[in-house]
Amino acid sequence: MKLIEGGVTSPRGFSANGIHCGIRKSRTKRDLCLIVSDRPASAAAVYTTNLVKGAPLKVTKKNLENGTARAVICNSGNANTCNADGVGIAEKMCSLAADALGIDPSDVVVASTGVIGEPLSIDPIAAGIGELAAGLGDHNDLAAEAIMTTDVRMKSFAVSFDIGGVECRLGGIAKGSGMIHPNMATMLVFITTDCSVPSSALRAALSHDIKNTFNMISIDGDTSTNDMVVVLANGASGSPEVTEDSEYFPVFMKALNTVTVALCRAIAADGEGATKLLECAVTGAKDEECAKTVAKAVVCSSLTKAAMFGADANWGRVLCAAGYSGAPIDPDRVGVVFSSRAGDIEVCRDGAGVPFSEELAKKILSEDEITIRVSLGEGDASATAWGCDLTYDYVKINGDYRT
């Protein structure tokens, strides 16, 4: 298993492109993305649990009922949500992509991200689809840029791994900066692989993976309406088929998890206005559910997030979050350690404070990646969640988002 370049275009048989078609006002911002497999691909997806769902999700769920797809089309700048003609627009996006590629519209995944409740015109998409399709190639970065909204950085990772002596590749791109909260899927993520994996095994792998990755991120406690994670597997590597009961399934799961964890960390680090990536690692829990509940409560705590922004070692806020999380913990056994590249510092043991250097704590918490280690002292289960600090800029960004 090794990290490689290329994102969604690193697997064989996949191409991508991203252009500015006119949905977004600024011509410097790409707003239309296309990812294509040169052959039919197995497909699996997970979606937001928000009862208010964007029209593209409804169309994509229908298109993926047969477990196959050939392409993904995604626009930024408009969520195509809560619009009377939203489903028709999403279906038209599929038809435009299909006509340009010579495939069936039902083989197209469609996604949108941006402002909710504003009508989406099909005109700029129709005008730009020819250029978009004609420019398909090894353009992972253009595609990754085209799905960004308030994101500051592109998010793209890929790995190579061995299946039965055959080199396979798996890569992904993601967007996510605000409206991020654990409740699937909290962002848009598109993953491709040239490994041979039937849709049933893809669904099993993705459903298992999200429990410890995309469902363990929180930026602001808001779950969006358009979130989805999609995986396409086209088998172009010629590898043996990876079924759920295959000896290769754990290898595929590790490859998938390596990319999804990297994307999770990138999304959390790029939270709106964020200056620091926060990781909460809980150990010593009675069971995994308890560990997850505590970890998520800590990264969701506005007071903890604000303390991390100010490099304030206010460990009481961590204990407070653990205490109201609903997890069955014994407060008198809890310990807290803050860690970063600058070192480690214990601030709480057995539910009480211990003497520590405020100067060293400030130095540790001034780094851009911080780990909050919480030990519960009651078992062997563990879990990790990701988030970011809460800054002045979060309010500034969301106070004038539509303008």
Q: Reduce the DSSP state of residue 101 to 3 states and report it.
A: helix
**Alpha carbon 34 to its chain's center:** 18
Task: Compute how many other C-beta atoms are within 10 angstroms of the C-beta atom of residue 198.
Answer: 17
Neighbouring residues of 251: CB distance < 8 A, sequence distance ≥ 6? 161, 162, 163, 242
Task: Compute how many other C-beta atoms are within 10 angstroms of the C-beta atom of residue 254.
Answer: 12
What is the side-by-side strand order in the sheet with 335-340?
352-353, 343-349, 335-340, 369-375, 277-285, 381-388
| Residues counted in the chain | 403
Active-site choice (186, 192, 283, 384): 186
Which residue has 């396409």 as its token pair?
232
Separation CA 66–CA 62 (nearest Å): 9
Q: Reduce the DSSP state of residue 57 to 3 states and report it.
A: helix
**Which residue from 299, 322, 195, 310 is spatially nearest to 253, judged by alpha carbons?**
195
Q: Does 192 qualify as catalytic in the annotation?
A: no
DSSP state of 401: T
Structure tokens at 350: 């057995």
Residues involved in catalysis: 186
